[in-house]
Structure 1
Amino acid sequence: MVASTTVTQLDDIERPSGAAAEKAQFGSDVVAQTLRDAGIDYVALNPGASFRGLHDSLVNFLGNRSPQILLCLHEESAVGLAHGYAKVTGRPMAAAVHSNVGLMHATMAVFNAWCDRMPVLVLGATGPVDASKRRPWIDWIHTAADQGALVRNYVKWDNQPASAAAAREAVLRGVWLSQNAPMGPVYINLDAEMQESGIDAELPSVDASRYLSTARSGVDQETVSEVWALIRKARRPVVLAGRVSRDEVSWHRRVALVEAMGAKVITDLKVAAAFPTSHDAYAGDLRGRNGAATLEVLKAADLVIALDWVDLNGTLTAAFGPAGPECTVIRVGLDHHSHNGWSMDHQAHPPADLVVSTDPDRFTALMIGSAKLCGTNAKPARACTPELSAQDGKQLTVEAIARTLLHFLGGRQSCLTHVTLSWDGSYWPFDHPLDYLGSDGGGGLGAGPAHAVGAALALRDMGADRLPVAICGDGDFLMGVTALWTAVHYKIPLLMIVANNRSFFNDEVHQEKVARMRGRDVSNKWIGMRMDDPEIALADMARAQGCAAFGPATTQAELESAITQAIAAVEEGRVAVVEVITDASYPATLVNALTGTTKG
C-alpha cells in the first residue's frame, strides 16, 4: 500500500507568507480566480517573465492553493504532467509556458496530448502587444504576431484575449472545450499588459458551472434498434475497444454489452485499458506474440463494432486486405470532429456501414439501457503471481522485468502509466480501467517520465490505493528525467523502471530493414544509435533528482533485489527508479509490427 500523502501534508510545500490580497485588482487576478472557479487544481509551469503577472496572482492573490503551482524544469514536462493527469482524471490541468520560446519547447507535448485526445489547458503569454510598452530587446523577441499559429493545427481552440473580461470567458471556454469529446488541448495566450494592468472595477460574478456543462451527444432510439438488429443477426461479432474513459461504471457496462452480444473483444496497447484481459471474451491485441491469433478472430468476424478505434482503416486492411471487409462495420465515436488538413493523426479514412456519432461510453450506456452492470465472467488475474525462472546468464529482457515486477507486487493494485515500445500485451493483466493508461499519443520520445508524474499525482489526489508504475526505455528516460525532480519535490510516490539497452534500438531495427532492402551490411546498424563509450549512468541521474535509485541490475538476482527495495521505497512515499540493463533485441513479431516487415 502506498503511503498516504494528503493535500493537507502538501500545504507545507511552497506556502506564501503574509496576507493574500482580498480582491481582484489586476487582469491576472481575474484569470487566476477563473482557474479556481473552473476547478483547475494545478498549474504546472517553468517560470517565465511573460506570465509574471499570473504567477504573482496565483501566489499572492490565491495563496498558491486551488490551483497550486507545480514547478517543472522544462516546459515540455509541464504539459506532459498535465497530460498524464488527464489520463487518469479525464479533466484538464493547466500548464503555463513562457511566451513563444516556452511554447516552442512545449509543442511536442501539446502534440502528444492532441493525438491522445486528452484535455490540457495550455496558458501562454506574450510581451505587450502594444509595441510602445515593450522593454528593449527581450519583449520584442518574445512577442509574435500570431503566437497561436505555432500550435493551432493541433489544439482544439486557441485565443488571445485583450481584456480581463475576455480572459475570463476564454478560460471558461477553453476548459469546457478541452474536456468535451473529442477531448484535446487548448491554448490561451495572455498579453503581458492585460495581466499587469489594473481593473477599474470587479467584474460581475458568474456561476462558472453554468459555462462548463458537458455537451451530450445523442443517439436516437431508431439507431439503437438498428444496431441491436445487426447484432442479433451476427454469429461472430467483434468489438474493437479503443479510446474510452477511466470510468469504472462505463467499464462494467462495456463488459455487460459484450456479454449480451456474445462478442469477442480486441484492444490496442496504444490506448488505455478498455476491457478485462482475463475475460473469456477477450481475444487479445493485434501486436506482439499473440497478434496473429487475434487477427484470425477479426478475419472471422461477421460484424465489427469499433469504439473510437485508433487507425480503423489500418486494422481492417491488415485483416481483410485493401478491398476491405465484407462484413458489416459500425464505427462509434466523435473523433471526426477533430480531423483537419494539417495533422494526419486521423489516419486513413475507413469503410463503415453505420457511423454512430456519439461518445463510446454513452453509446454503451444507451445500448444496454437498464441492464445489470455487475456479474461478469472476468477472472481474478492477480489472485496468483507469476513464477520466476533463472535467466541462466542471459541478459535481462523487458519480459523478465514485467514478470519480476508482477511477482513482487504480490497482488497489490498498480497502474501502468507508461510502457516501453517493446512491451507485449501478454506480459500484464488489465482488469480495471486504471490498470493501464496507454502510450504517449503522438510518438514523442521523452514523454514517459512526465506522464508518469502527472498520473501519479492524480492517483494520489483521488485516494486511489494504486502503486503508479512506469516502464521507460533509456532514450525516453534521458529526454524526460528532470520531470522526476517535480515528483520528489511535491512528494508524489512513483516507481519507475528503466529498461536500458544502451541504444535507440527502435531505429536499429529500421536501419537493419533498410540495409537488407538495399543489399548492404546489416552489421553497421548500430552506428549513430548506441549510447556507450561512455555508458550513461541512468541510476545516478535519478539520484541527482532526489530519487531513491537502484541498479544498474544486470542479473535476475540483482533485479529482484532492486525491485523489492524500490517497492518498499514507494510505499514509504518516495520516488524510486530502477535501472535494468536489458538485451538489445526485439521479438520477431514486434519487429514485423514496427517496420511493416512480413518476411525475414
Structure 2
Amino acid sequence: MFSKYTTSTAFLEALQEAGVSYIFSNLGSDHPAIIESLAEARQKGIALPEVIICPHEMVALSAANGFAQITGKPQAVLVHVECGTQNLGGAIHNAAKGRVPVLIFAGASPFTQEGETLGSRNEFIHWIQDVFDQRGIVRGYVKYDNEIRSGKNVKQLVHRALQIAQSDPKGPVYLVGPREVMEEEIERVIITPELWEPIQPSALPSKGVKEIVSNLVNARNPLIVTSYLGRNPDAVKELVRLSERLSIPVIESVPNYMNFPSNHPMHCGYLWNSQEQNELLSKADVVLVLDSDVPWIPLKNKPSENCQIYYIDIDPLKEQMPLWYIPSKHFFRADSYTALQQLNELLEQIYIHEDVVHNRWGIIEKFHNEQREEWMKQEQYREDVITPEYLTACVREIVNEDTIIVNEGISNYETIYRHIQASRPGSIIGSGAGSLGWNGGASIGVKLAAPDKMVINLIGDGCYLFSVPSTVHWMARRYKTPFLTVIYNNRGWKSPKLSTLGVHPNGVAKEINEFWVDFEPPADLAKIAEAAGGAYAQTVKKPEELKEALQNGLKAVKEGRSAVLDVYLPSIKSEGERSLLKKDNLLPKGAS
C-alpha cells in the first residue's frame, strides 16, 4: 500500500485498472506528486503502467498512437502544462483524424502563490506558464476535455475519458490537473472499471441491409471503396467474403491499414491524389463506401451521375470536417465489421445469378492481372538511378509474415502500397492524417505492441526530419525497440512541388524550376540516428548497393540495433532540371 494516497496515486491506479500499459512522459514542474507516487510504487513493487521517457512530446504521442493502432488499446501521454501541450504539435491532429484512442494528461500551473497548500508556486516559470484556456489549445482535436478539481472523483474522470476515447469514432481525450490538486491527500478510491466499457458497435437497420444487398446483387458493375476498414482484422475477412460472393472489385483510397489483400484477384488498386479518372469508378453503377474519409477526389475522379452510392462509416457526417459531402443515396452510422456480417448473412439466404457473378469474376481478374503486370514493369532495375518502385520491390523481398510496415512515404505513399503488396491484416499502417513526423514514434509504439515483429519504417526525407529522429533513436535504444528505417530521399519536399504543379502545371515555378523545397546540400540523415541512438547507418546512392544494404540493416535490427538506410532517389531539383533540358532539347539523344 502507498504510505500517502494522493490524487496522483488514484490517477495512476485508474490507468492501471483500465489496462494502460505505458505512460509516454515528458515531465515538468507540474508533476512532483506523480513522480512521488511512481517512485513509491517502484520501491514497493506496486504494479503501475511503465513510464517511457520521451524527450519530445510529438514522439510521445506518436508512440502511443502506433501502439493503439496495433492493439486497439489506448495508452497515456503525460506532458508539461501548456508548453508541453503545444509541443504535441501535429501528433494531436494525427490521433484525432486517424481516430486513435489515447489519454493525454497535462499538469497546470499552481493556482496559489503564498504556500496556502502543498504544491503552491515556488518557481518563476509558474507565472509564465499560467494561461487562461489551456484546454482550448487542443479542444478542436479531442473528443473530451476536463479539469481534475478533486482527487475524490479522479478515477471516474479517467475512466469516463477512456470510455469516450474508445467509443466510435475513437480519438484522443485530454485532462489537466493543477499541481495542488494532484498533491491532495485523499481516502483510497475504489471503482468498478467494468462499468465504464466503451459503447458497443452499431449495426445497419434491417431495411438498409435489404436495400444494399438488393442493389449489389442486381448491379452490373458494383464497386467497393474503403480506407481504414482494416483497423479491425476481422472486418477484412468479412469484406473478402462479400467481394468473393458477388465478384465485386475493391479499391483502397488513401489507405492507412491493409483493408483487402493486394494479391486477391478482386483487388483493383489504390487511389491517392489521382489526377485522372479511375476506369472502374466511372463505370460503376453501385458503389459501396466503407470507412473512408475521402473515397475519391471529385475534381477529376468520381462516379457517374447515375451511380447509386451507399456510405457506411463510424463517422458518416464527418462532424469535424467543415467541408465534406459525397452524393450518397443513404448514409449509415455503423461498424463496418458488424455491417458486413449483416450483408453477408442476408446474401446466404437469397437467390443470386451465378452466371453473372462468374462472368464478372473473369473480367475483374483480368483487370487485376494486367494492372499488376504494369506495376511489375515499373520495378525494373536501372544502372543509373534508384527508382522508388525498384526500392519498394527490394524492400518487399525482405518482408515476411512477421513484418509490420509503417508507411509515411507521402509523395511515394501510393508507390509503397502498390509495390509492397500487403496482403495480411495488420501488416501495414499509416497515420490516417496529415501532420508529418508520425512515423518514428509510431514505429516505437508498434514495436512495444508487437516485440516479436520486424518493424520497417518507409518514409521520405522530409518526414524523417519532422519525426525528431534524435529523440526517436535515443528512445529506441533505451527501450530496446529496434526497427529498420528506409528513407526515400529525394533531397526535398516533393509534395509541395506536386501541389504547385497540380494547380499551375505550366506556371513560372515550373518554367524556372524553383519551388523552394529542396534540401541542398543534403544532411547526413542516417548519421543522426547513429549519433543519437547508436543505430546502424548507411547511405545508399548506387543501385547495385541497395540489396546488400537492406540485408545489413535487417541484420542489425535482428541483433537488437536500429538501422537507418538513407537511399538516394532522383532529387526533386534534378528532376526539374532534366525536364527543362528535355524541353529545350539539351539532353543527349536517347536520354530520358
2:193 to 208, 217, 224: 208
SS in 2 for 1:49: coil
Higher relative contact order (CA 8 A, sep 6+): 1
1:304-352, CA deviations, whole angstroms, 9 ceiling, x for partnerless residues?
111121224x44554447xx63211111012146614xx54xx521121
TM-score by length of 1: 0.83
What is residue 307 of structure 1 aligned with on the other side?
Answer: 290
What is residue 126 of structure 2 aligned with on the other side?
Answer: 139
Structure 1 unaligned blocks of 5 or more: 1-20, 380-385, 589-600
Runs of 4+ in structure 1 deviating by more than 6 angstroms, as ranges, are: none
2:92 to 106, 110, 114: 110
CA change 1:131–1:156 in 2 (3 A) is farther
* Residues 333 and 359, structure 1, Cα contact 8 Å, conserved in 2: yes
Q: How far off is 1:275 after superposition?
A: 0.5
- How many residue pairs match? The answer is 540
Q: How far off is 1:522 after superposition?
A: 2.8
Distance in structure 2 (CA, Å) of the matches to 1:408 and 1:44: 31
Q: How far off is 1:505 after superposition?
A: 2.5
* Residues 94 and 435, structure 2, Cα contact 8 Å, conserved in 1: yes
1:532 to 505, 513, 520: 520
Distance in structure 2 (CA, Å) of the matches to 1:126 and 1:361: 41
Q: How far off is 1:584 after superposition?
A: 2.0
Distance in structure 1 (CA, Å) of the matches to 2:182 and 2:552: 48
CA change 1:496–1:66 in 2 (3 A) is farther
Taking the TM superposition and a 5 Å limit, the aligned residue runs for 1:155-554 are: 155-199=142-186, 201-203=187-189, 205-287=190-272, 295-312=278-295, 314-315=296-297, 318-320=300-302, 325-336=305-316, 339-340=319-320, 344=322, 347-369=323-345, 390-392=381-383, 394-409=384-399, 411-421=400-410, 422-423=412-413, 424=415, 425-438=417-430, 440-460=431-451, 463=452, 466-480=453-467, 481=469, 482-511=471-500, 517-519=506-508, 522-525=511-514, 528-533=516-521, 535-554=522-541
Distance in structure 2 (CA, Å) of the matches to 1:442 and 1:64: 38
Distance in structure 2 (CA, Å) of the matches to 1:514 and 1:251: 37
Q: How far off is 1:71 after superposition?
A: 0.9
Taking the TM superposition and a 5 Å limit, the aligned residue runs for 1:67-82 are: 67-82=49-64
SS in 1 for 2:429: coil
CA change 1:153–1:114 in 2 (3 A) is same
Distance in structure 1 (CA, Å) of the matches to 2:72 and 2:329: 30
CA change 1:561–1:67 in 2 (3 A) is same
* Residues 412 and 467, structure 1, Cα contact 8 Å, conserved in 2: no
Distance in structure 2 (CA, Å) of the matches to 1:420 and 1:150: 29
Q: How far off is 1:455 after superposition?
A: 1.6
Distance in structure 2 (CA, Å) of the matches to 1:352 and 1:300: 16
Amino acid at match of 1:555: K
Q: How far off is 1:514 after superposition?
A: 6.8
CA change 1:586–1:279 in 2 (3 A) is farther
Distance in structure 2 (CA, Å) of the matches to 1:523 and 1:113: 39
Distance in structure 2 (CA, Å) of the matches to 1:518 and 1:45: 47
What is residue 28 of structure 1 aligned with on the other side?
Answer: 8
Give me the CA root mean square deviation.
2.9
CA change 1:65–1:42 in 2 (3 A) is farther
Amino acid at match of 1:134: R
TM-score by length of 2: 0.84
SS in 2 for 1:154: coil
1:41 to 5, 21, 24: 21
SS in 2 for 1:101: helix
* Residues 286 and 292, structure 1, Cα contact 8 Å, conserved in 2: no
SS in 1 for 2:212: helix
Q: How far off is 1:516 after superposition?
A: 5.4
Larger radius of gyration: 2
SS in 1 for 2:533: coil
CA change 1:166–1:436 in 2 (3 A) is same
CA change 1:22–1:447 in 2 (3 A) is same
Distance in structure 2 (CA, Å) of the matches to 1:136 and 1:288: 51
Distance in structure 1 (CA, Å) of the matches to 2:317 and 2:19: 26
Distance in structure 1 (CA, Å) of the matches to 2:252 and 2:102: 25
1:194-215, CA deviations, whole angstroms, 9 ceiling, x for partnerless residues?
111211x222x22212212443
Distance in structure 2 (CA, Å) of the matches to 1:91 and 1:520: 46
1:533-582, CA deviations, whole angstroms, 9 ceiling, x for partnerless residues?
3x311111010122432321111232222111111122223211111111
1:284-313, CA deviations, whole angstroms, 9 ceiling, x for partnerless residues?
112389x858x110111111111121224x
* Residues 488 and 574, structure 1, Cα contact 8 Å, conserved in 2: yes
1:343-399, CA deviations, whole angstroms, 9 ceiling, x for partnerless residues?
54xx52112111121111221122223999xxxx999xxxxxx8986421x222222
Distance in structure 1 (CA, Å) of the matches to 2:219 and 2:552: 52
Distance in structure 1 (CA, Å) of the matches to 2:147 and 2:80: 14
* Residues 244 and 274, structure 1, Cα contact 8 Å, conserved in 2: yes
* Residues 4 and 185, structure 2, Cα contact 8 Å, conserved in 1: no
Q: How far off is 1:173 after superposition?
A: 1.1
What is residue 6 of structure 1 aligned with on the other side?
Answer: none
* Residues 258 and 422, structure 2, Cα contact 8 Å, conserved in 1: yes
CA change 1:587–1:176 in 2 (3 A) is farther
Q: How far off is 1:97 after superposition?
A: 1.1
1:213-266, CA deviations, whole angstroms, 9 ceiling, x for partnerless residues?
443323332322222222222121111122224333322111102222321111
Taking the TM superposition and a 5 Å limit, the aligned residue runs for 1:554-593 are: 554-585=541-572
CA change 1:569–1:65 in 2 (3 A) is farther
